[in-house]
Amino acid sequence: SHTVQDLVFIWNMTDPLVVNPEIELPQLDISNNYTTDCTIEYSTGNFTCLAVVFNLRRRLGYHLFHTYIPSALIVVMSWISFWIKPEAIPARVTLGVTSLLTLATQNTQSQQSLPPVSYVKAIDVWMSSCSVFVFLSLMEFAVVNNYMGPVATKAMKGYSDEDLSEAIDFNKNGYNKDHRSSEVPKYDTFCHGRETALCIDKFSRFFFPFSFFILNVTYWTTFL
């Protein structure tokens, strides 16, 4: 209620602000602070004002162990399907869907500890990228299963892996077709599709980890 003619606030030039080092916030650190003069002009006069601004930096340790590492492990776990044979459809589908649902739950829990804001946060970029990787690993199996085709499912119902190996040998070495037809079903289409599916799996074993490594390098160099 006093104008600058009656009262004026001035920061101490030598040491304007002293922060107690024993005061800590659970998830935040005070990176720096600065003081300023915010004297306000009104029609009734000028009123003195002082302001201090604290720049806060969120601690990485909490989110590193509760969000980043678990989500990265979920992404890595989804890659196990690349080492499972293409005929194991239930195992690969279950692994992919479970990884995707677990990551969605992890994302929900991480958002509960953060304030709701309208802009995109760094952790949103990370969780969205991890979800894309898990989803793509599930789509990779869809492509693999498409190359296997219905012939693979029909063949696997009545013939063992030994029969399949024998059929592949027949196909590669060019044994008599009549003999092959009497001993083993016609696996020509199946063998070709299975070889393509295995090539896709082998390529994914290197492509997905390498892409995830590039993501980590880009992410941490950008947001740290």
pTM, rounded to two decimals: 0.70
116 and 50 inside one domain? no
pLDDT attached to residue 181: 47
* Token representation of residue 190: 């199946």
The Cα–Cα gap between 68 and 216 comes to 11
**Alpha carbon separation from 177 to 61, 68, 98, 131, 161 (Å, rounded):** 65, 56, 44, 48, 20
pLDDT tens track for 48-79 = 888 998 888 888 888 888 899 999 999 999 99
Neighbouring CB atoms inside 10 A of 45's CB total 12
Given a contact cutoff of 8 angstroms between Cβ atoms, the answer to whether 79 and 208 are in contact is yes
pLDDT digits (tens, 9 = 90+) for 107-155: 998 888 788 888 898 999 999 999 999 999 999 999 998 887 654 555 4
Position 203 scores a pLDDT of 94
Tell me the pLDDT band of 163, cut-offs 50, 70 and 90: low
Q: What total number of domains does the chain contain?
A: 2
Domain of 28, in residue numbers: 1-58
198 and 125 in a single domain? The answer is yes
pLDDT of residue 182: 44
91 lies in the same domain as 2: no
pLDDT-derived band at 15 (thresholds 50, 70, 90) equals confident
Task: Kindly state whether residues 67 and 45 are assigned to the same domain.
Answer: no
Looking at residues 89-108, what average pLDDT do you find? Answer: 92
* Residues 148 and 193 both lie in one domain: yes
Residue-level pLDDT at 34: 84
Residues 64 and 50 in one domain: no
182-213 tens-digit pLDDT: 444 545 555 677 788 889 999 999 999 999 99
Rounded to an integer, the average pLDDT of 217-223 is 93
Do residue 109 and residue 208 come from a single domain?
Answer: yes
Give the model's confidence band at 180: pLDDT under 50 very low, under 70 low, under 90 confident, else very high. very low
Dist. CA 140–CA 36, nearest whole Å: 57
Question: 66 and 47 in one domain?
Answer: no
45 & 79 share domain: no
